Amino acid sequence: MKSTGIVRKVDELGRVVLPIELRRTLDIAEKDALEIYVDGATIILRKYEPACIFCDNAKDIKVYKGKNICPDCLKELKQE
């Protein structure tokens, strides 16, 4: 993990502001969703990108009954 040297305080509502430079670098826009992961005492934020529930592919995702499925897995399911 690489340190940015940026320090931000958590406000009284539990919010943290991500600096504009960081958002630009990571292509995070207003209203973008972020996933939150915890690894021991470390909190990891990652830009949410829908992925296939079977193979984690994030390209050309289709939504079927509320689930994300890639074309390859959809084709495989149709063959069964």
Residue range(s) defining the domain that contains residue 74: 50-80
Do 40 and 14 have their domain in common? yes
What predicted TM-score, i.e. pTM, was given to this entire model?
0.63
Q: For 26-62, how does the pLDDT look when each residue is reduced to its tens digit (9 = 90+)?
A: 999 999 999 999 999 999 998 888 899 999 898 899 8
**Are 55 and 74 found together in one domain?**
yes
pLDDT exceeds cutoff 80 at 67: yes
Is the domain of 64 the same as that of 27? Answer: no
Give yes or no: residues 44 and 12 share one domain.
yes
CB proximity list for 41: less than 8 A, separation 6 or greater: none
The number of domains in the chain is 2
72/62 same-domain check: yes
CATH code, 13: 2.10.260.10
Report the Cα–Cα distance between both ends of the chain, in Å, rounded.
42
